[in-house]
Protein backbone atom coordinates (compact mmCIF):
# COMPACT_ATOMS: atom_id res chain seq x y z
CA UNK A 1 0.00 0.00 0.00
CA UNK A 2 2.73 2.41 1.03
CA UNK A 3 4.67 1.22 -1.96
CA UNK A 4 1.82 2.17 -4.25
CA UNK A 5 1.42 5.47 -2.50
CA UNK A 6 5.11 6.20 -2.99
CA UNK A 7 4.89 5.20 -6.60
CA UNK A 8 1.92 7.48 -7.19
CA UNK A 9 3.56 10.35 -5.39
CA UNK A 10 6.88 9.96 -7.16
CA UNK A 11 5.71 9.01 -10.62
CA UNK A 12 2.04 9.87 -10.74
CA UNK A 13 2.44 13.30 -12.28
CA UNK A 14 5.27 12.41 -14.57
CA UNK A 15 3.77 9.07 -15.58
CA UNK A 16 6.98 7.79 -17.13
CA UNK A 17 7.61 4.52 -15.43
CA UNK A 18 4.19 3.05 -14.91
CA UNK A 19 5.04 0.02 -17.01
CA UNK A 20 8.30 -1.45 -15.86
CA UNK A 21 8.40 -3.42 -19.14
CA UNK A 22 8.69 -0.10 -20.91
CA UNK A 23 12.11 0.42 -19.33
CA UNK A 24 13.47 -2.36 -21.44
CA UNK A 25 12.30 -0.69 -24.63
CA UNK A 26 14.18 2.53 -24.00
CA UNK A 27 16.94 2.58 -26.63
CA UNK A 28 19.57 4.66 -24.91
CA UNK A 29 20.05 5.96 -21.41
CA UNK A 30 22.67 8.20 -19.89
CA UNK A 31 24.04 8.14 -16.37
CA UNK A 32 25.39 11.49 -15.32
CA UNK A 33 26.87 12.89 -12.12
CA UNK A 34 24.92 15.89 -10.84
CA UNK A 35 27.41 17.30 -8.33
CA UNK A 36 31.23 17.34 -8.35
CA UNK A 37 31.89 13.67 -9.01
CA UNK A 38 32.03 10.45 -7.00
CA UNK A 39 28.26 10.38 -6.61
CA UNK A 40 28.16 6.62 -7.16
CA UNK A 41 27.67 6.65 -10.93
CA UNK A 42 29.65 3.44 -11.35
CA UNK A 43 27.47 1.40 -9.02
CA UNK A 44 24.29 2.56 -10.82
CA UNK A 45 25.85 2.01 -14.25
CA UNK A 46 26.64 -1.53 -13.07
CA UNK A 47 23.07 -1.99 -11.88
CA UNK A 48 21.44 -0.72 -15.07
CA UNK A 49 23.89 -2.57 -17.32
CA UNK A 50 21.95 -5.74 -16.54
CA UNK A 51 19.34 -4.72 -19.14
CA UNK A 52 21.73 -3.27 -21.72
CA UNK A 53 23.82 -4.65 -24.56
CA UNK A 54 26.54 -2.05 -24.30
CA UNK A 55 27.96 0.41 -21.77
CA UNK A 56 29.79 3.31 -23.40
CA UNK A 57 32.09 5.81 -21.69
CA UNK A 58 31.88 9.11 -23.59
CA UNK A 59 34.38 11.49 -21.95
CA UNK A 60 37.08 11.85 -19.34
CA UNK A 61 39.88 9.43 -18.75
CA UNK A 62 41.57 7.80 -15.78
CA UNK A 63 40.79 10.84 -13.65
CA UNK A 64 37.62 8.81 -12.99
CA UNK A 65 37.36 6.21 -10.27
CA UNK A 66 34.16 4.19 -10.36
CA UNK A 67 33.65 1.72 -7.55
CA UNK A 68 31.54 -1.42 -7.83
CA UNK A 69 30.94 -3.83 -4.98
CA UNK A 70 29.57 -7.17 -6.10
CA UNK A 71 29.26 -10.22 -3.83
CA UNK A 72 31.65 -8.59 -1.38
CA UNK A 73 34.30 -7.97 -4.04
CA UNK A 74 35.34 -4.39 -4.75
CA UNK A 75 36.34 -3.17 -8.21
CA UNK A 76 37.73 0.35 -8.74
CA UNK A 77 37.46 1.12 -12.45
CA UNK A 78 39.25 4.01 -14.12
CA UNK A 79 38.88 3.64 -17.87
CA UNK A 80 37.01 0.39 -18.32
CA UNK A 81 33.22 0.95 -18.45
CA UNK A 82 31.18 -0.26 -15.51
CA UNK A 83 29.30 -2.93 -17.51
CA UNK A 84 32.44 -5.05 -17.79
CA UNK A 85 31.38 -7.44 -15.03
CA UNK A 86 28.50 -8.81 -17.13
CA UNK A 87 29.21 -11.45 -19.79
CA UNK A 88 26.54 -10.11 -22.15
CA UNK A 89 27.85 -6.53 -22.22
CA UNK A 90 30.16 -4.96 -24.77
CA UNK A 91 32.07 -2.34 -22.81
CA UNK A 92 33.02 0.55 -25.10
CA UNK A 93 35.49 3.41 -24.64
CA UNK A 94 34.08 6.07 -26.93
CA UNK A 95 35.87 8.62 -29.08
CA UNK A 96 35.37 11.38 -26.49
CA UNK A 97 37.54 9.63 -23.90
CA UNK A 98 41.26 10.33 -23.46
CA UNK A 99 43.11 7.05 -23.07
CA UNK A 100 46.41 6.42 -21.35
CA UNK A 101 47.35 3.15 -23.08
CA UNK A 102 49.63 2.02 -20.25
CA UNK A 103 46.91 2.57 -17.67
CA UNK A 104 44.26 0.87 -19.79
CA UNK A 105 46.39 -2.22 -20.31
CA UNK A 106 47.28 -2.36 -16.61
CA UNK A 107 43.61 -2.03 -15.66
CA UNK A 108 42.63 -4.80 -18.08
CA UNK A 109 45.35 -7.02 -16.68
CA UNK A 110 44.24 -6.43 -13.09
CA UNK A 111 40.65 -7.24 -14.02
CA UNK A 112 41.65 -10.30 -16.04
CA UNK A 113 43.77 -11.57 -13.13
CA UNK A 114 40.65 -11.28 -10.97
CA UNK A 115 38.65 -13.39 -13.41
CA UNK A 116 36.88 -10.57 -15.29
CA UNK A 117 36.75 -11.19 -19.03
CA UNK A 118 37.94 -8.03 -20.81
CA UNK A 119 38.10 -9.56 -24.27
CA UNK A 120 34.90 -7.80 -25.41
CA UNK A 121 36.23 -4.33 -24.57
CA UNK A 122 36.26 -1.97 -27.56
CA UNK A 123 38.24 1.25 -27.79
CA UNK A 124 37.40 3.90 -30.35
CA UNK A 125 40.12 4.51 -32.91
CA UNK A 126 39.19 8.18 -32.66
CA UNK A 127 39.83 8.45 -28.92
CA UNK A 128 42.90 10.52 -28.11
CA UNK A 129 45.93 9.13 -26.33
CA UNK A 130 47.30 10.49 -23.08
CA UNK A 131 51.07 10.38 -23.38
CA UNK A 132 53.59 10.64 -20.52
CA UNK A 133 54.36 14.27 -21.45
CA UNK A 134 50.70 15.16 -20.84
CA UNK A 135 50.98 13.93 -17.26
CA UNK A 136 54.27 15.76 -16.84
CA UNK A 137 52.68 19.00 -18.12
CA UNK A 138 49.64 18.56 -15.89
CA UNK A 139 51.85 18.32 -12.79
CA UNK A 140 54.10 21.19 -13.91
CA UNK A 141 51.17 23.49 -14.68
CA UNK A 142 49.65 22.77 -11.29
CA UNK A 143 52.93 23.54 -9.56
CA UNK A 144 53.29 26.72 -11.62
CA UNK A 145 49.84 27.89 -10.48
CA UNK A 146 50.93 27.65 -6.84
CA UNK A 147 48.10 28.60 -4.50
CA UNK A 148 45.80 29.11 -7.51
CA UNK A 149 46.16 25.44 -8.49
CA UNK A 150 43.04 23.54 -9.53
CA UNK A 151 43.79 20.33 -7.68
CA UNK A 152 43.71 18.19 -10.81
CA UNK A 153 44.26 14.46 -10.64
CA UNK A 154 47.57 15.01 -12.50
CA UNK A 155 46.58 12.32 -14.95
CA UNK A 156 47.30 14.48 -18.01
CA UNK A 157 43.62 15.02 -18.81
CA UNK A 158 43.75 18.79 -19.47
CA UNK A 159 46.92 18.72 -21.62
CA UNK A 160 45.60 15.76 -23.67
CA UNK A 161 42.30 17.54 -24.42
CA UNK A 162 44.27 20.73 -25.14
CA UNK A 163 46.33 18.90 -27.77
CA UNK A 164 43.10 17.48 -29.22
CA UNK A 165 41.69 21.00 -29.57
CA UNK A 166 45.00 22.26 -30.98
CA UNK A 167 44.80 19.41 -33.49
CA UNK A 168 48.18 18.01 -32.54
CA UNK A 169 46.76 15.13 -30.52
CA UNK A 170 47.53 11.50 -31.23
CA UNK A 171 44.62 9.15 -31.72
CA UNK A 172 44.33 5.49 -30.81
CA UNK A 173 44.10 4.60 -34.52
CA UNK A 174 47.51 6.21 -35.12
CA UNK A 175 49.05 3.28 -33.28
CA UNK A 176 48.02 1.08 -36.22
CA UNK A 177 50.31 2.91 -38.66
CA UNK A 178 53.84 3.10 -37.30
CA UNK A 179 55.09 5.80 -39.66
CA UNK A 180 52.09 8.06 -38.96
CA UNK A 181 52.47 7.45 -35.23
CA UNK A 182 56.16 8.38 -35.28
CA UNK A 183 55.52 11.48 -37.41
CA UNK A 184 52.79 12.69 -35.10
CA UNK A 185 54.90 12.16 -31.96
CA UNK A 186 57.71 14.08 -33.59
CA UNK A 187 55.42 16.92 -34.66
CA UNK A 188 53.80 17.39 -31.26
CA UNK A 189 57.10 17.12 -29.40
CA UNK A 190 58.73 19.78 -31.56
CA UNK A 191 56.29 22.14 -29.84
CA UNK A 192 55.84 20.46 -26.44
CA UNK A 193 59.59 20.12 -25.89
CA UNK A 194 59.92 23.90 -26.16
CA UNK A 195 57.40 24.27 -23.36
CA UNK A 196 59.09 21.62 -21.24
CA UNK A 197 62.58 23.03 -21.67
CA UNK A 198 62.02 26.78 -21.97
CA UNK A 199 58.97 27.38 -19.77
CA UNK A 200 59.56 24.68 -17.16
CA UNK A 201 63.30 24.07 -17.37
CA UNK A 202 62.87 20.33 -17.89
CA UNK A 203 64.62 17.86 -20.19
CA UNK A 204 63.12 17.35 -23.64
CA UNK A 205 61.35 14.08 -24.48
CA UNK A 206 63.03 11.99 -27.16
CA UNK A 207 60.40 11.25 -29.85
CA UNK A 208 61.97 7.96 -31.00
CA UNK A 209 62.39 6.63 -27.47
CA UNK A 210 58.77 7.46 -26.64
CA UNK A 211 57.42 5.99 -29.89
CA UNK A 212 59.45 2.79 -29.34
CA UNK A 213 58.16 2.46 -25.78
CA UNK A 214 54.50 2.95 -26.68
CA UNK A 215 54.63 0.65 -29.72
CA UNK A 216 56.56 -2.06 -27.88
CA UNK A 217 54.52 -2.00 -24.69
CA UNK A 218 51.02 -1.13 -25.90
CA UNK A 219 50.35 -1.98 -29.54
CA UNK A 220 49.96 -5.74 -29.25
CA UNK A 221 47.71 -5.54 -26.21
CA UNK A 222 45.49 -2.78 -27.57
CA UNK A 223 45.21 -3.83 -31.22
CA UNK A 224 42.44 -6.44 -30.80
CA UNK A 225 40.31 -3.87 -28.97
CA UNK A 226 40.59 -0.95 -31.39
CA UNK A 227 37.32 -0.54 -33.27
CA UNK A 228 34.92 1.72 -35.12
CA UNK A 229 32.79 2.19 -32.03
CA UNK A 230 30.32 4.52 -33.74
CA UNK A 231 29.41 1.65 -36.06
CA UNK A 232 29.09 -0.75 -33.12
CA UNK A 233 26.83 1.64 -31.21
CA UNK A 234 24.56 2.21 -34.20
CA UNK A 235 24.40 -1.48 -35.08
CA UNK A 236 23.01 -2.15 -31.61
CA UNK A 237 20.61 0.78 -31.74
CA UNK A 238 19.33 -0.35 -35.15
CA UNK A 239 18.88 -3.87 -33.79
CA UNK A 240 16.64 -2.45 -31.05
CA UNK A 241 19.13 -3.14 -28.28
CA UNK A 242 19.61 -0.93 -25.24
CA UNK A 243 22.71 1.11 -24.63
CA UNK A 244 23.90 2.88 -21.52
CA UNK A 245 26.18 5.89 -21.83
CA UNK A 246 28.23 6.22 -18.68
CA UNK A 247 29.34 9.72 -17.76
CA UNK A 248 32.47 10.24 -15.71
CA UNK A 249 33.10 13.31 -13.51
CA UNK A 250 29.98 15.42 -13.17
CA UNK A 251 27.80 18.36 -14.13
CA UNK A 252 29.65 20.96 -12.08
CA UNK A 253 33.01 19.73 -13.36
CA UNK A 254 31.84 20.30 -16.95
CA UNK A 255 34.20 22.61 -18.84
CA UNK A 256 31.28 24.72 -20.12
CA UNK A 257 28.77 24.51 -17.30
CA UNK A 258 30.86 23.77 -14.23
CA UNK A 259 32.56 26.07 -11.77
CA UNK A 260 35.24 27.13 -14.25
CA UNK A 261 38.24 27.04 -13.99
CA UNK A 262 37.79 24.44 -11.24
CA UNK A 263 36.52 21.88 -13.71
CA UNK A 264 37.74 19.03 -15.84
CA UNK A 265 38.48 19.47 -19.55
CA UNK A 266 35.51 17.65 -21.08
CA UNK A 267 31.70 17.72 -21.13
CA UNK A 268 30.37 15.22 -18.58
CA UNK A 269 26.85 16.69 -18.95
CA UNK A 270 24.47 14.41 -20.83
CA UNK A 271 24.82 16.30 -24.11
CA UNK A 272 28.48 15.25 -24.13
CA UNK A 273 27.37 11.70 -24.91
CA UNK A 274 26.39 12.77 -28.43
CA UNK A 275 29.79 13.91 -29.73
CA UNK A 276 31.61 11.67 -27.25
CA UNK A 277 30.06 8.48 -28.59
CA UNK A 278 28.75 9.54 -32.00
CA UNK A 279 24.99 9.46 -31.45
CA UNK A 280 22.26 11.97 -32.11
CA UNK A 281 20.03 13.15 -29.26
CA UNK A 282 16.93 11.41 -30.67
CA UNK A 283 18.15 8.07 -29.30
CA UNK A 284 18.33 9.22 -25.71
CA UNK A 285 15.26 8.64 -23.57
CA UNK A 286 16.36 8.25 -19.98
CA UNK A 287 18.84 10.58 -18.35
CA UNK A 288 19.53 9.37 -14.83
CA UNK A 289 21.17 11.95 -12.61
CA UNK A 290 23.15 10.47 -9.74
CA UNK A 291 23.38 12.58 -6.58
CA UNK A 292 24.72 11.85 -3.14
CA UNK A 293 22.34 12.52 -0.25
CA UNK A 294 25.02 15.06 0.70
CA UNK A 295 27.76 16.61 -1.47
CA UNK A 296 31.47 15.99 -1.89
CA UNK A 297 34.15 17.69 -3.90
CA UNK A 298 37.86 16.94 -4.46
CA UNK A 299 40.15 19.73 -5.54
CA UNK A 300 39.65 23.48 -5.39
CA UNK A 301 36.63 25.61 -6.30
CA UNK A 302 33.44 27.04 -4.81
CA UNK A 303 31.23 24.81 -2.65
CA UNK A 304 28.38 26.79 -1.04
CA UNK A 305 27.23 24.08 1.40
CA UNK A 306 30.70 22.96 2.48
CA UNK A 307 30.95 22.02 6.16
CA UNK A 308 33.93 22.45 8.43
CA UNK A 309 32.32 20.95 11.50
CA UNK A 310 31.67 17.53 13.01
CA UNK A 311 28.90 16.81 10.47
CA UNK A 312 31.43 17.34 7.66
CA UNK A 313 33.77 14.93 9.46
CA UNK A 314 30.88 12.49 9.87
CA UNK A 315 30.37 12.46 6.08
CA UNK A 316 34.09 11.82 5.55
CA UNK A 317 34.34 9.11 8.20
CA UNK A 318 31.06 7.26 7.71
CA UNK A 319 30.98 7.81 3.93
CA UNK A 320 34.70 6.90 3.56
CA UNK A 321 35.15 10.06 1.54
CA UNK A 322 38.62 9.53 0.16
CA UNK A 323 39.32 9.43 -3.60
CA UNK A 324 38.92 5.99 -5.20
CA UNK A 325 42.22 6.35 -7.06
CA UNK A 326 44.03 9.37 -5.68
CA UNK A 327 43.23 8.73 -2.00
CA UNK A 328 42.61 12.45 -1.43
CA UNK A 329 40.22 13.45 1.38
CA UNK A 330 37.01 14.79 -0.15
CA UNK A 331 35.44 18.07 0.97
CA UNK A 332 31.89 17.52 2.23
CA UNK A 333 28.63 19.44 2.73
CA UNK A 334 24.84 19.25 2.81
CA UNK A 335 22.92 18.33 -0.33
CA UNK A 336 22.28 21.40 -2.49
CA UNK A 337 18.93 21.59 -4.31
CA UNK A 338 19.90 24.86 -6.03
CA UNK A 339 22.65 23.03 -7.87
CA UNK A 340 20.51 19.96 -8.49
CA UNK A 341 17.75 22.06 -10.07
CA UNK A 342 20.37 23.50 -12.39
CA UNK A 343 21.64 19.99 -13.14
CA UNK A 344 18.09 19.00 -14.15
CA UNK A 345 18.08 21.78 -16.73
CA UNK A 346 21.58 21.20 -18.05
CA UNK A 347 21.18 17.47 -18.47
CA UNK A 348 17.46 17.08 -19.19
CA UNK A 349 17.27 14.68 -16.27
CA UNK A 350 14.31 12.32 -16.36
CA UNK A 351 14.98 10.93 -12.89
CA UNK A 352 17.35 10.86 -9.95
CA UNK A 353 19.32 8.13 -8.24
CA UNK A 354 20.18 9.23 -4.70
CA UNK A 355 23.17 7.48 -3.17
CA UNK A 356 24.62 7.03 0.29
CA UNK A 357 21.44 7.83 2.18
CA UNK A 358 22.75 5.42 4.83
CA UNK A 359 25.57 7.86 5.62
CA UNK A 360 22.93 10.17 7.13
CA UNK A 361 21.46 7.35 9.25
CA UNK A 362 22.67 8.39 12.68
CA UNK A 363 22.41 12.17 12.41
CA UNK A 364 19.95 13.99 14.70
CA UNK A 365 19.11 16.56 12.03
CA UNK A 366 19.45 16.48 8.26
CA UNK A 367 19.38 19.46 5.92
CA UNK A 368 18.69 20.41 2.31
CA UNK A 369 19.95 23.68 0.88
CA UNK A 370 16.91 25.15 -0.88
CA UNK A 371 18.20 28.64 -1.76
CA UNK A 372 21.21 30.93 -1.45
CA UNK A 373 21.36 34.15 0.51
CA UNK A 374 23.22 36.74 -1.54
CA UNK A 375 23.71 39.98 0.37
CA UNK A 376 20.33 39.57 2.06
CA UNK A 377 18.49 38.49 -1.08
CA UNK A 378 17.25 34.90 -1.32
CA UNK A 379 17.80 33.29 -4.73
CA UNK A 380 16.60 29.86 -5.79
CA UNK A 381 18.46 29.66 -9.09
CA UNK A 382 22.18 29.13 -9.47
CA UNK A 383 23.66 32.62 -10.03
CA UNK A 384 25.29 32.82 -13.44
CA UNK A 385 28.06 35.08 -12.13
CA UNK A 386 30.50 32.79 -10.41
CA UNK A 387 31.68 35.38 -7.88
CA UNK A 388 28.20 35.07 -6.40
CA UNK A 389 28.50 31.30 -6.13
CA UNK A 390 31.74 31.83 -4.21
CA UNK A 391 30.04 34.06 -1.67
CA UNK A 392 26.60 32.35 -1.53
CA UNK A 393 25.33 31.50 1.95
CA UNK A 394 23.08 28.43 1.96
CA UNK A 395 19.50 28.65 3.18
CA UNK A 396 18.49 25.32 4.68
CA UNK A 397 15.36 23.32 5.30
CA UNK A 398 15.97 21.17 8.37
CA UNK A 399 14.43 17.77 9.12
CA UNK A 400 14.59 15.27 11.96
CA UNK A 401 16.99 12.41 11.35
CA UNK A 402 15.70 8.82 11.26
CA UNK A 403 18.35 7.34 13.56
CA UNK A 404 17.84 3.92 12.02
CA UNK A 405 20.21 1.65 10.13
CA UNK A 406 18.92 1.65 6.53
CA UNK A 407 21.55 -0.61 5.04
CA UNK A 408 19.30 -3.66 4.72
CA UNK A 409 16.12 -1.92 3.53
CA UNK A 410 14.85 -3.39 0.25
CA UNK A 411 11.32 -2.10 -0.04
CA UNK A 412 10.52 1.64 -0.17
CA UNK A 413 7.67 0.94 2.25
CA UNK A 414 10.21 -0.06 4.91
CA UNK A 415 11.94 3.31 4.96
CA UNK A 416 11.31 5.21 8.21
CA UNK A 417 8.89 8.14 7.96
CA UNK A 418 11.68 10.69 8.56
CA UNK A 419 13.72 9.29 5.64
CA UNK A 420 10.65 9.47 3.38
CA UNK A 421 10.03 13.05 4.45
CA UNK A 422 13.62 13.94 3.58
CA UNK A 423 13.41 12.24 0.16
CA UNK A 424 10.01 13.75 -0.62
CA UNK A 425 11.31 17.22 0.21
CA UNK A 426 14.39 16.67 -1.93
CA UNK A 427 12.29 15.43 -4.83
CA UNK A 428 9.94 18.38 -4.54
CA UNK A 429 12.85 20.81 -4.45
CA UNK A 430 14.61 19.28 -7.42
CA UNK A 431 11.51 18.66 -9.52
CA UNK A 432 12.21 15.22 -11.02
CA UNK A 433 11.26 11.82 -9.59
CA UNK A 434 13.67 9.96 -7.36
CA UNK A 435 13.76 6.57 -9.02
CA UNK A 436 16.46 4.84 -6.94
CA UNK A 437 17.96 5.30 -3.51
CA UNK A 438 21.05 3.40 -2.45
CA UNK A 439 21.70 2.57 1.16
CA UNK A 440 25.05 0.81 0.96
CA UNK A 441 27.83 0.23 -1.57
CA UNK A 442 26.87 -3.29 -2.72
CA UNK A 443 25.03 -3.96 -5.95
CA UNK A 444 21.95 -5.14 -4.04
CA UNK A 445 21.81 -2.31 -1.50
CA UNK A 446 19.27 -0.05 -3.14
CA UNK A 447 15.58 0.71 -3.23
CA UNK A 448 13.68 1.09 -6.51
CA UNK A 449 10.67 3.40 -6.36
CA UNK A 450 9.67 2.54 -9.91
CA UNK A 451 9.45 -1.21 -9.49
CA UNK A 452 5.95 -1.39 -8.08
- Catalytic residue numbers, as ranges: 38, 66
Cβ pair 100, 107 in contact under 8 A: no
Binding mask 339-378 for ligand GDP (x = CB under 6 A): ----------------xx-xx-------------------
Cβ pair 318, 312 in contact under 8 A: no
What 8-state DSSP symbol labels residue 442?
A: B
Measured from the CB atom, the residue of 7 and 62 that comes closer to ligand IMO is: 62
Identified binder of ligand GDP from the candidate list 122, 440, 447, 452, rule CB under 6 A = 440
Interaction between residue 57 and ligand GDP (CB under 6 A) = no
Identified binder of ligand GDP from the candidate list 5, 9, 69, 210, rule CB under 6 A = 69
Counting Cα atoms < 13 Å in the Cβ hemisphere of 403 gives: 5
Contacts of 369 (CB under 8 A, 6+ apart): 304, 305, 334, 335, 336, 337, 338, 394, 395, 396
Which of ligand IMO, Mg ion, ligand GDP, none does residue 98 bind to, with CB < 5 to 8 Å depending on kind? none
- Reported as type and span, the H/E element at residue 33 is strand 28-33
Interaction between residue 278 and ligand IMO (CB under 6 A) = no
Nearest Cα neighbor of 365 from 422, 438, 309, 295 is: 422
Number of residues engaging Mg ion in binding (CB under 5 A):
3
Number of residues engaging ligand GDP in binding (CB under 6 A):
22
Interaction between residue 38 and Mg ion (CB under 5 A) = yes
Cβ pair 284, 30 in contact under 8 A: yes
Quote the least distance from Cβ 120 to ligand IMO, whole Å.
Answer: 22
Cβ pair 288, 352 in contact under 8 A: yes
3-state SS, residue 171: strand
Quote the least distance from Cβ 330 to ligand IMO, whole Å.
Answer: 8
What are residue 297's DSSP bridge partners? Answer: 331
Q: Considering just the CA atoms, what is the radius of gyration of the chain in Å?
A: 22
Quote the least distance from Cβ 325 to ligand GDP, whole Å.
Answer: 8
Interaction between residue 151 and ligand IMO (CB under 6 A) = yes
What residues make contact with ligand GDP under the rule CB under 6 A?
33, 37-43, 65-67, 69, 320, 324, 355-356, 358-359, 438-441
What residues make contact with ligand IMO under the rule CB under 6 A?
33, 36-38, 63-66, 150-153, 155, 157-158, 248-250, 253, 262, 264-265, 298-299
Amino acid sequence: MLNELFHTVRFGSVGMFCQSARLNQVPASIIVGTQWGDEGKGRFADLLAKDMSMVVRYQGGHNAGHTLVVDGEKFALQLVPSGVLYDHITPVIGNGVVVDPFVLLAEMKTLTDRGVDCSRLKVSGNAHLIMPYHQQLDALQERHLGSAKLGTTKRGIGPAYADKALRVGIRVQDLLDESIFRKKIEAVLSHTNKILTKAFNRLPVDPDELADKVLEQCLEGLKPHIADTVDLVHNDLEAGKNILFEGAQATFLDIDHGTYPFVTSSNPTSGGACPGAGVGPKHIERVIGVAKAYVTRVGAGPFPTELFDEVGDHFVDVGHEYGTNTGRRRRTGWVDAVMLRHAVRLNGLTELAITKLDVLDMLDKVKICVAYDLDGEEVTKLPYHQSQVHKATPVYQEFSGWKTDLTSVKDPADLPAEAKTFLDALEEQVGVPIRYVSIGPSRKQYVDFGAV
